[in-house]
C-alpha cells in the first residue's frame, strides 16, 4: 500500500508515469550538477587553504612590524601619523557564474598607484619601523582581497552543493520510490478490477445460459407432453 491515498484510475496512472519520467531525468541532471560542483569546489577549497595560509603569514609579519614600531614611538604620535590616510580604496564587485552559482569577483582601485606614496606622514617624526609596517600591510592587502573573494566563493559553492545534494537524495530515496510504488499499486488495482469484471461477465453468462437451458427444457417437456396427448 502506498503511504498516501491515490486514485486508482488510468488517468492518475498516466500522470504519475509522466512525473516519474521527469523525476528520473531531473535526478540524473542534478546528480551531474552535484558532481561537477564538487569538482569545482575541491579546486576552490585547495586554493582557499593556500591563500589563507599566505595571508595569515603576511598579516602576522605586518602585525609584528607594527608592534615594533609602536614600541619605538609614542602611541600618540603613532596614532597621529596614521590618522589621515593618503590612500583610499574603491571596491567594485562583479559576478561570475560558476555552475549557476553567482560568486563575487572583486576589482579594486586605489587612489595612489605608486606604492611609495601611501605613507600618510612626514618622515621626520616617525621611525623607519613604521614604514616597514605600513609596507608589509600594503603588501598583504592584495592577498587579503583575493582571500575574501575565494573564501566567499567557497561558502557559496558549499551552500549550493548542500542544496543540490539534498535534492538528489530526496529524489533518489523518497520521491522516485514513492512514485514507483504508486504505479505498482494502481496497476495492480486496475488489473484486479479487470479480472473481477471478467469474472462477473462469466458469471452472468453462466446464469443466462442456465436460464436459457431451463426454458428450453421446459419447452421440450411441454412439446413432448403435447405429442403424447
Partner 1 sequence: MYSIAVLGDRDSVMGFKVLGLHVYPVDDVDKARSTLHKLARENYAIIYVTEQLAVSLEAEIARYKDNVTPAIILIPGKEGSLNIGMSNISRTVERAIGADVL
89 binds partner 1 (CB under 8 A): yes
Sole window of 140-148, 172-180, 193-201, 207-215 interacting with partner 1 (rule: CB under 8 A): 140-148
Provide the 3-class DSSP secondary structure of residue 185. helix
Nearest to 25 by CA among 157, 150, 171, 135: 171
Interface with partner 1: number of residues (CB under 8 A): 60
CB atoms within 10 A of CB 149: 19
77 binds partner 1 (CB under 8 A): no
Shortest Cβ distance from residue 100 to partner 1 (Å)?
14
Shortest Cβ distance from residue 156 to partner 1 (Å)?
7
156 binds partner 1 (CB under 8 A): yes
Sole window of 4-12, 16-24, 60-68, 205-213 interacting with partner 1 (rule: CB under 8 A): 60-68
Binding mask 98-137 for partner 1 (x = CB under 8 A): ----x-x-x---xx------xxx------------xx--x
Kindly report the CA angle at 87 between 81 and 92, in degrees rounded to 5?
145
Shortest Cβ distance from residue 174 to partner 1 (Å)?
18
Distance from CA of residue 106 to its chain's centroid?
24
Which of residues 155 and 219 has its CB atom nearest to partner 1 in the complex?
155
Shortest Cβ distance from residue 54 to partner 1 (Å)?
12
Residue 190, C-alpha cell as written in the block = 486496475
151 binds partner 1 (CB under 8 A): yes
In angstroms, the CA 142 to CA 55 distance is 9
Residue 188, C-alpha cell as written in the block = 495492480
Shortest Cβ distance from residue 74 to partner 1 (Å)?
14
Return the biggest CA–CA distance within the chain. Answer: 155
Find out whether 98 and 43 touch, Cβ atoms under 8 Å: no
CA distance to 21, 99, 106, 158, per residue, from 39 (Å): 28, 11, 23, 12
Exactly one of 1, 11, 83, 229 binds partner 1 (CB under 8 A); that residue is: 83
Nearest to 81 by CA among 115, 116, 128: 128
Residues at the interface with partner 1 (CB under 8 A) = 38, 41-42, 45-46, 48-49, 52-53, 55-56, 59-60, 62-63, 66-67, 70, 79, 82-83, 85-93, 95, 102, 104, 106, 110-111, 118-120, 133-134, 137-138, 141, 144-145, 147-149, 151-152, 154-159, 161-162, 165
Amino acid at each position: 500500500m502506498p503511504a498516501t491515498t491515490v486514485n486508482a484510475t488510468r488517468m492518475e496512472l498516466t500522470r504519475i508515469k509522466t512525473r516519474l519520467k521527469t523525476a528520473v531525468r531531473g535526478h540524473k541532471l542534478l546528480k551531474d550538477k552535484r558532481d561537477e560542483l564538487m569538482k569545482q569546489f575541491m579546486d576552490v577549497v585547495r586554493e582557499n587553504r593556500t591563500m589563507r595560509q599566505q595571508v595569515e603569514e603576511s598579516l602576522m609579519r605586518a602585525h609584528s612590524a607594527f608592534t615594533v614600531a609602536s614600541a619605538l614611538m609614542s602611541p600618540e604620535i603613532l596614532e597621529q601619523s596614521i590618522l589621515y590616510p593618503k590612500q583610499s580604496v574603491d571596491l567594485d564587485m562583479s559576478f561570475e557564474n560558476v555552475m549557476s552559482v553567482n560568486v563575487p569577483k572583486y576589482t579594486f582601485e586605489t587612489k595612489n598607484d605608486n606604492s611609495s606614496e601611501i605613507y600618510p606622514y612626514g618622515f621626520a617624526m616617525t621611525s623607519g619601523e613604521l614604514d616597514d609596517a605600513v609596507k608589509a600591510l600594503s603588501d598583504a592587502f592584495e592577498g587579503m582581497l583575493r582571500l575574501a573573494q575565494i573564501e566567499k566563493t567557497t561558502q557559496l559553492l558549499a551552500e549550493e552543493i548542500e542544496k543540490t545534494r539534498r535534492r538528489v537524495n530526496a529524489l533518489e530515496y523518497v520521491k522516485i520510490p514513492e512514485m514507483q510504488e504508486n504505479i505498482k499499486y494502481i496497476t495492480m488495482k486496475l488489473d484486479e478490477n479487470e479480472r473481477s469484471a471478467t469474472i462477473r461477465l462469466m458469471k452472468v453468462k453462466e446464469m443466462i445460459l442456465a436460464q436459457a437451458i431451463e426454458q428450453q427444457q421446459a419447452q421440450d417437456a411441454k412439446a413432448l407432453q403435447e405429442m403424447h396427448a
